[in-house]
Amino acid sequence: MSQTEIKVVLEFKDVKFLINGKVLFENVTLNLNEGELMTIVGTSGSGKSFLLKLCIGLLKPSAGEVKLWGESIGEYALAQKQKLRAKVGFVFQDAVLLNNQNVYNNLALPLRYHTQKSEKEIEVIVSEKLEHVNARAYIKEFPPALSHGVKKLVNIARALILDPKLLIYDEPTSGLDDIEAQPVLELIKKVNIPEDVTTLVVTSNSVVSEKLPGRVLLLKNKTVIDTGK
């Protein structure tokens, strides 16, 4: 992608966020470009979860502006926010899978709710996404029977189910040992390969930033510091 073709997917402009009157972070300015993989590293309590909620409009900044694809989402009505969020896949820190539904149904539900696809089409898509994350063998299993590592892979497959243009990972390796974490990190890199897919990873584990390509930012001293690659 040439310099003239670079598009900004996510933008923070001098963002400040207060909670209960206390400044959590301020003067946060960053651009996440189309096709980029960016990792933000912050210690526990630094405000990472609030930063993520600002990214998708679940919270409004106390000052400054947050934009997705050039559109400010702070003042958007719910319907407008939902339209933008449809282009975003969110990989939760905890898998947040429905324990009373098998893996197939956990992935099929968003397609049933947000699209007009037939059950046969849904079956093909679910199988393809699970194959993509090397978890096709677990399609009939229920979440309580899955290891923590497999749940992470299924969680990523679910985030991919609607073919989002922006993928956000919240602590993707939390609760995993080094061996379990490796396939998750390899998958993050693999999913980011298409030029039009953009990835934001937020973590408290500096090892994650060392193993992923792209820019690394530090959430430190109530602001974001761009450390480069």
The Cα–Cα gap between 149 and 175 comes to 9
- Asked if residue 207 is part of any domain, the answer here is yes
Residue 9 within any structural domain of the chain: yes
**Residue 212 CB partners (closer than 8 Å, separation 6+):** 37, 39, 185, 188, 189, 201
Least confident of 37-41, 80-84, 141-145: 80-84
Spatial distance between the Cα atoms of 166 and 151, rounded to a whole number of angstroms: 21
| Residue 130 scores a pLDDT above 90 | yes
**What is the Cα Rg of the chain in Å?**
18
How many other C-beta atoms lie within 10 A of the C-beta of residue 8?
16
CA atoms within 13 A on the CB side of 219: 26
Q: What is the pLDDT of residue 157?
A: 95
Identify the pLDDT of residue 2.
Answer: 46
Tokens of 220: 């430190």
Question: Is the pLDDT assigned to residue 194 strictly greater than 50?
Answer: yes
Structure tokens at 81: 């926010």
- Is residue 5 predicted with pLDDT exceeding 70? no
* Residue 66 placed within a domain: yes
- What is the pTM for the complete model shown? 0.90
CATH number at residue 203: 3.40.50.300
Structure tokens, 124: 């093909």
Question: How many distinct structural domains can be found in the chain?
Answer: 1
Query: Does residue 1 carry a pLDDT above 70?
Result: no
- Lowest-confidence range among 6-20, 116-130, 189-203? 189-203
* Domain limits for position 77: 3-87+164-226
Residue 109 within a domain: no
Question: Is 177 contained in some domain?
Answer: yes
Each residue of 52-99: pLDDT tens digit? 989 988 889 999 999 999 888 877 777 777 777 778 999 988 878 999
Residue 175 falls within a domain, yes or no? Answer: yes
**Which of 8, 7, 27 is closest to 16 using CA atoms?**
27
